[in-house]
Structure 1
């Protein structure tokens, strides 16, 4: 064991020079009750004779963790000098680092041998020499929990005022928003300090202060029992004072990343520390009670406790300039510190603690980031969620000086830039309403971001510090999009990322604050559209001050959203009618197929393989009532997906730590660029993707998939399904619905309900048939396909713990056999129907005269459907220059999605190039020497921050047409014979819509009726 805590005696491995002295002391302690006291003089040294046990990092290791040195130091007086830590063999120094002593209290250093130290570490190192400050005559230092070597994730070491050289790479990596406190502190101020504070600014400071206080100070009646409870909790922290010295239990983040895994639980127990979140939550409770009670003796007790808590934090190193070894993800544990000290600001000033506390707030919130150069600013949902309030509080707590004006003005500019639609896969919001974290659309994080950012937008609204109009509109769009892909509160399962619990849900409060922030242009104090959304989402019977205000303004709750929306930064299509929601999702070479951690979503490999979910049941509508149930869920069978059905053990993810940019996580990419959706006139739409599974598991598996949404009809096509797996069958799942009640029937081509359990139906269809599940979804299935329907007990595994689970389900699949070649499928879903409705639909599909739609093409190059009810033709064009020659389209020079609705002598056209075009060609490091795609971390990709490349697509239309009116990015490039070439500039995979009018008559004439018959024939 090379961990030394110095509880009872000086370890025999420790010695010092004759001019210094070592002893065990109980005066200052970090973990346990004692520390090693070193009384030093100039040129003193402390020596540890013990094998360091350092081992160089081996490429290809299962973990990227690096051997590191850890130590805690207590310094009673700040010194402008350093300790020098030298590691070597006998008298030879191999590597070293300096530790600055410009602090009072406890500080720690986490220093990686290979990356952070000067020199070259050697595996045979067996001695540590700590050299005393060179310019100080005598002094005392206290040492605790010295670890000669422990493995630490290389992303986590955090530099600070003591070790400013540690982990410099972190400032350019995904963890920078947590770890770059030192950099944020050093940023040059963009703005100069104004000469005076204007009356408008003084008014703004007062208004924002009042709003901020109201946000956290919910007045309450403080009782005698409350005081007894609070004093009881406080006593458990064991905070005591002896003169100017304060001590108590350690305060730690919950991660303990520096503890060796094999010994972590024992060391945590011995540390006897308080979790930082518990400590800061308690601080806020004391502050609220202090501000709420009028009993002077209670106020005095609460104030004394609060000051003690604050001083103990400072002594423990939770103070300006310290990073505690690491501050990764610490914002979740520190968020209540900021409002707590804000509420006690007057008392802190009286106690002489305000200036010190403000510096601590500024440091740990990373408030210096508000001075980031504009071109480097990137929004981050973690910051919006956990530290944004802290940044603002650290500025509000300043006196009303010109410096405060500069800081708040910079805050406004920084926040505005952070909220603008971001390029590439950068956070946080996209032009289509996607909300980004972990380089993808991520509602679970987005909710926390909205909870953090919308109150701040409200706090500064209507003042000189209000955010920019474009920034306001960006957040507003993302927030309103959240209520589109959620129904009513829970979002689509395909958006659940690594938490497929079915419980992910929006929060209502952000809609209130967004409404109260006014319109983006600032012309109205209340945003009526967002207010109407808030009123619809507010739980039945729940009242609020805001709701009463909105209703008094005669704002009515919005109706359930109806229409179709495209979010190609999420590869997502959203279709809504009445109260139900259907969503289709895919993935591509930019957007990962799944996010899996070592204890989360272990079986979620197929979650975005064309997942088509219908949420239509429950009060309010939710995932469970609509068919999802975790226990017993067959992770092979997400509705709409085409997958190789594997045993549960083979489906389990093999999660790896692939590089220093990422942790233990799996975020697999395809090599295909084609996945996304398109909407027409905001009413109907489509989704399509080229499915190619990553070679880590089943690289031969491919399919061309499309989904067409017309009113309550959803048409699903698949072609070119292929793989080389001759052991396990390939299948397309129509539905997998939990049977909460075994009496819930399904129907199979007959009006007689099937309640039998277990039940099995399997056959190759000789004629079209229909199904009706017990969720009011009807399925029309053309002949020639292998259909399997079951009602049975399913046994599965827990997605996070691997525990056995089981449940009762009804399932329908289309089978493609083992190792399929050119497999295909076709089925249509009627949402919210009954036996009569789906039976009539099936009957009508037997005749061209009565069919609701016709499949014009379904092959490798294109899936094309004509919906006769809407007179709309929809094209999923998977290949460029493939001579479409179907319907109105002759050819397209780019893989595209196009929808065309016919009316009189006009065509309404919507089109998109679904390729986000963040880079061209291929990345060589994503492929091995045999040309197979390998697993890489998305965080290591340079194109993640790249802007989408603009691309001009040429669509050749049959007939001669002109644009009815100007359309941004679209133009008629040429007319030739009976064809019209349209050029459309695309960017960010955003659809463009335009209307064509008949130009001059060509060979086809101008009869739509004749042309429609040609299409069908």
Structure 2
């Protein structure tokens, strides 16, 4: 009997293992089909056929190149992979030669009479050449012990990839190894190259003692470069390898963990669904690459026993769909571009990720498919002809299938979106977009390198980008640069000291490049607030690279197609450079492109307007309007049209370009500077003049000082409070005070019987008020780097007696006298919005006059526990229990509904007199 049971267990175990191995091998089949064209036979679409043709063409070129440039018989000295030159040589050989050879070898091409039409498909000559390349890599010393400059920090569970060469591009090599498994095995070389892959991804081994899934999320470099590399390694293992299933299980667990929301400043998906690297937001390169890789993983694993967890799929989708919030068509703000200031169209680079979301689950991700269809059919987009391991022929086929079957979605044309972890506010109206980028003790100001983004110092100093012109909207069509001779966008002549929206010292170019990047400024106030589709950006700004500690309180209030920008308490004690607030800087396509100043049209390149009193209104070079009211600014307003001299972003060449630029010069060593200006998107001459004449009909500035900026949107009666000093008390509206610095927005509706309220806490919940760290202090201490955000209650006091219209688990109310304290349990810098209605009280003497209802009867009364109700007119949903003070305490009872009757369990109520109301009819109940 025992033998029989043991034998059955062995059979079950064997069956289970076989089933799991079959699952892994099915994934392998799907993955190889993704990399090749195994499921494409007809090539009926010319674009897909054209992509295939390019792969074959590049394969032919690679054959010539490897013959002419590599000595396979006597390789030179071994490569040192910690050396940049050798590292680059390996990348070039794999990405520019080996990959194209392998693709040419595996692509069948159109099937004719049941046979592949590609003459290179599995040809002996091409196979031998590919094997020579693999042998060359081996002979150059690449093996299972090669130091590729990776290190794992055991305490922080992060991988330090110290070289940006082969380590970040080894996936192409891994794909080649997997695709050539059979051929490499025939020559006894497969195990060698598997050893290299094993070494590259050794920290993803379940036997690694230094990784324990302690923290959610993971290093974005690893996600974008090495997870798929590890997948190729696992799929390449033999079924007889005893650790194959364990390796697969660990890899999927690792991937699921990487797709969890990263705490603190850790990579890679944040609570607002921006993507992080180097402790800051990166929507291009790092973040976009990682999301694209995870979209491929999700597509490959979907439907298998190793499918990603639902929460992983949700986070992946939300992070990708966030791009439609912060992008206008394809363009996104430079504030999310890290050290690549001219890489601002990630949707063009990663658009196929949305196609893969849809292909993985056409039902749940129908919106992603429709979004892909829209951006795919926009000008400058379409079919991708890039040759890379992320764009095989199968990717093109998936894209074409979606394009021919789905209808496009409707773009977001209106809304206000805050990205607290990105330090970014985005406002959309009528398809226009304005963004404002800030910095704080949580959000670093910018990133550079020795050759990238050298002039990025003011990227987060309130930098405002307006994208309102063109279809599609581009940086060029909106004057955020000028065109070169080929009509392409350049930053030629761009004045890096006069970034629109910024209040900062006007410093020479050589001074602008000095100072540390990736630093926090120690200030706690950076908020991105909203009420419905309107919003507020607010920042207590300090220039961390200013030797004199220049500061300013800055806000922008967004209302429909208009905005109001305020500045106060501008200080630069001891400063030696003038402080400027830049209103606009837009490129002039040619000298005849007109701008308007106070009704006068200007062309040419010799305009130097200056005014230190009175109001000014002007248009930029693309039609946006700007209004600076009289008495609202300190210093003088300067507007120029000129040929500007500058340098490219890497500071390697001087540049020149024609621009219209406007700024307010607050002077040197300013002690109490201020400004105020309105913006009308695409106002043009007539619209801007009307806006200037009626600015007070849109914005009423109630307060603008070092305590608060308070503005009312006059048309919709929305009050906006940016409260820098929690000791402030207000009287203009229902808002009285808050107990912590915050942003409050209110709107009274329904004849005063409904109050919309939103509150935003600028503190992300990561640091206490007295905490502030440098980049290195955050990075070097795990308890800071992985800080878990905490709920931070903020108490708002309102005049009147209010209650929540609908219960919310993160808001409570307490009436004290004729005021109401509304406590918002804030976290992650998110806006919390709710609706309040007046709290009505029924006086105890009114209870004595209540008549018996006609629509229901109750028994027993008095009641000890259960009150039974017979309804004379059927079921009802409107049931209330009021106490003697008239307060609604319905939440304290349990209601069981039957057909024509109700059972109210009143056990939790104290002995007293209560009022039971159903559909407006009430009866006095005695709880015994």
TM-score of the aligned structures, taking structure 2 as reference length: 0.77
TM-fit CA distance, 1:232: 4.6
- Aligned counterpart for 1:708 among listed residues 552, 557, 581: 557
Q: In structure 2, which of residues 210, 217, 240 is the aligned counterpart of residue 378 of structure 1?
A: 217
2:185 aligned with 1:334, yes or no? no
1:615 to 463, 467, 492: 467
Match of 2:839 in 1: 999
8 A contact 1:733–1:813 mirrored in 2: yes
What is the aligned partner in structure 1 of residue 102 from structure 2? 287
Alignment match of 1:535 (pick from 373, 383, 405) = 373
- The DSSP-based 3-state class of the residue aligned with 2:427 is strand
Q: Which residue of 1 aligns with 2:707?
A: 861
Corresponding residue to 1:463 among 290, 301, 304: 304
- After superposition, the CA RMSD in angstroms is 2.8
CA distance in structure 2 between the aligned counterparts of 1:297 and 1:429, rounded to whole angstroms: 41
Aligned length: 760
Tell me the residue number matched to 1:806.
656
Task: Give the distance between the partners of 2:765 and 2:781, measured in 1 at CA.
Answer: 14
Alignment partner of 1:690 is 2:540: yes
Question: Is the counterpart of residue 312 in structure 1 residue 136 in structure 2?
Answer: yes
Q: In the alignment, does 2:762 pair up with 1:914?
A: yes
- Contact 1:281/1:336 (8 A) holds in 2: no
1:343 aligns with 2:183: no
Q: Distance in 2 between matches of 1:272 and 1:481?
A: 35
**Alignment-derived partner of residue 302 in structure 1:** 126
Q: Which of 605, 609, 612 does residue 757 from structure 1 map onto? A: 605
CA distance in 2, matches of 1:835, 1:272: 57
Q: By how many angstroms is 1:624 displaced?
A: 2.1
Aligned to 2:579: 730
In structure 2, the partner of 1:212 is 31
For structure 1, which runs of at least 5 residues remain unmatched after alignment? 1-192, 242-246, 258-267, 519-523, 656-665, 927-933, 1003-1017
Which residue is 1:777 aligned to?
A: 624
Alpha-carbon contact 1:908-1:996 (below 8 Å) kept: yes
Partner of 1:44: none
Encode CA deviations 1:107-135: one digit per residue, 9 max, x unaligned: xxxxxxxxxxxxxxxxxxxxxxxxxxxxx
Whole-Å Cα distance in 2 between the matches of residues 636 and 228 of structure 1?
46
Partner of 2:46: none
Measured in 2, the distance between the counterparts of 1:204 and 1:909 equals 52
Within the candidate set 245, 255, 261, 1:415 is matched to: 255
Shift of 1:420: 1.1
Correspondence 1:233 to 2:66: yes
SS at match of 2:638: strand
Aligned to 1:562: 414
Q: Report the Cα distance in structure 2 between the residues aligned to 1:937 and 1:807, rounded to whole angstroms.
A: 41
Q: SS of the counterpart of 2:457?
A: coil
Q: CA deviation at 1:736?
A: 0.6
Q: Does 1:489 align with 2:313?
A: no
Give the drift of 1:735: 0.3
Q: Secondary structure at the match of 1:842?
A: helix
- Structure 2 SS opposite 1:753: strand
> 1:66-81 residue pairs with structure 2 within 5 A?
none
Q: Identify if the C-alpha distance between structure 1 residues 885 and 197 changes in structure 2 by more than 3 Å, giving closer, same or farther.
A: same
Q: Secondary structure at the match of 2:834?
A: strand
The residue matched to 1:374 in structure 2 has which SS?
coil
Q: Is the 8 A contact 1:706 1:717 kept in 2?
A: yes
Residues 194 and 996 (structure 1), Cα distance of their counterparts in 2 relative to 1, 3 Å cut: farther
Contact 1:692-1:699 at 8 Å conserved across structures: no
CA contact (8 A) 1:644 1:731 kept: yes
In structure 2, distance between residues paired with 1:196 and 1:376: 35
**Counterpart in the other structure of 1:142:** none
Change (3 A) 1:343 1:868: same
Question: Would you say 1:578 and 2:405 are equivalent positions?
Answer: no
Secondary structure of the structure 2 residue equivalent to 1:415: helix
Structure 2: how far apart are the matches of 1:693 and 1:589? 12
The 10-residue stretch of structure 1 (306-315 or 368-377) with the greater mean CA deviation from structure 2? 368-377
Aligned residue number for residue 78 of structure 1: none
Among 875, 878, 881, the residue aligned to 2:721: 875
TM-score by length of structure 1 reads 0.71
- SS of structure 2 residue aligned to 1:953: strand
Q: Is the 8 A contact 1:615 1:622 kept in 2?
A: yes
**Structure 1's 706 and 353: CA in aligned 2 closer, same or farther, altered over 3 A?**
same
Alignment partner of 1:285: what SS?
helix
Q: Where do 1:356-375 residues align within 5 Å?
A: 356-366=192-202, 368=204, 372-375=211-214
- Tell me the equivalent position of 2:899: none
Find the aligned partners of 2:62 and 2:832 in 1 and give their Cα distance.
Answer: 62
Aligned to 1:321: 145
- Displacement of 1:206 in angstroms is 4.4
Q: Which moved more, 1:878-887 or 1:956-965?
A: 878-887
Q: Of 232, 244, 268, which aligns to 1:404?
A: 244
SS in 2 for 1:625: coil
Distance in 2 between residues matched to 1:668 and 1:225, nearest whole Å: 44
Shift of 1:996: 0.7
- Compared CA separation, residues 546 and 805, structure 1 to 2 (3 A): same
User: Do the aligned partners of 2:352 and 2:399 also contact (CA within 8 Å) in 1?
Assistant: no
Q: Which runs of 5+ in 2 are unaligned?
A: 1-11, 39-51, 109-117, 151-160, 384-395, 482-490, 843-928
Does structure 1 residue 498 correspond to structure 2 residue 317? no
Q: Relative to structure 1, is the Cα distance of residues 297 and 783 closer, same or farther in structure 2, using a 3 angstrom cutoff?
A: closer
Contact 1:237 1:274 in 2 (8 A): no
Give, in whole Å, the separation in 2 of the partners of 1:224 and 1:670. 53
C-alpha distance in structure 2 between counterparts of 1:273 and 1:645, whole Å: 40
Taking a change above 3 Å as real, the CA distance of residues 838 and 921 of structure 1, as seen in their structure-2 partners, is: closer
CA 1:200–1:891: 2 relative to 1, 3 Å:
farther
Q: Does 1:741 align with 2:594?
A: no
Q: Is the 8 A contact 2:204 2:250 kept in 1?
A: no
Return closer, same or farther for 1:315/1:561 CA change in 2, 3 Å cut-off.
farther
Q: Is the 8 A contact 2:503 2:581 kept in 1?
A: yes
CA contact (8 A) 1:252 1:276 kept: no
1:921, CA displacement in angstroms?
4.9
CA contact (8 A) 2:585 2:620 kept: no
Inter-CA distance 299–777: structure 2 relative to 1 (3 Å threshold):
same
Alignment partner of 1:831 out of 681, 699, 705: 681
SS in 2 for 1:731: strand
Counterpart CA distance in 1 for 2:213 and 2:505 is: 47
Moved beyond 6 Å, runs of 4+:
221-225
SS for the counterpart of 2:602 is coil
* Residue in structure 2 matching 1:435, options 259, 264, 275: 275
C-alpha separation between the residues in 1 aligned to 2:281 and 2:248? 30
Instruction: Say if 2:216 and 2:260, in contact at 8 Å, map to a contact too.
Output: no
Structure 2 residue 512 is the aligned partner of structure 1 residue 651: yes
Deviations 1:758-781 (A, max 9, x none): 101111232x33211121211121
The offset of 1:938, in angstroms, is 4.8
For 1:429 and 1:894, the matched residues in 2 are separated by 28
| CA deviations over 1:566-609 (Å, ceiling 9, x no partner) | 11011111111233211011001121112122222222211111
Q: Is the alpha carbon distance of 1:645 and 1:535 closer, same or farther for their aligned partners in structure 2, counting shifts above 3 Å?
A: same
Retained in 1: the 8 A contact 2:59–2:97?
no
> Could you list the per-position Cα deviations for residues 52-79 of structure 1 after superposition, in whole angstroms to 9, with x for gaps in the alignment?
xxxxxxxxxxxxxxxxxxxxxxxxxxxx
Query: What's the CA shift string for 1:965-986, capped at 9, x where partnerless?
Result: 11121111x2122210011111
Question: 2:726 is paired with a residue of what secondary structure?
Answer: coil
- In 2 relative to 1, CA 287–526 (structure 1 residues): closer, same or farther, beyond 3 Å? farther
Judge conservation of contact 1:562–1:578 (CA < 8 Å) in 2: yes
Contact 2:281 2:338 survives alignment (8 Å): no
Are the counterparts in 1 of residues 436 and 462 from structure 2 also a CA contact under 8 Å?
A: yes
Q: Do 1:713 and 1:830's aligned partners in 2 also have CA atoms closer than 8 Å?
A: yes
Alignment match of 1:641 (pick from 502, 508, 517): 502
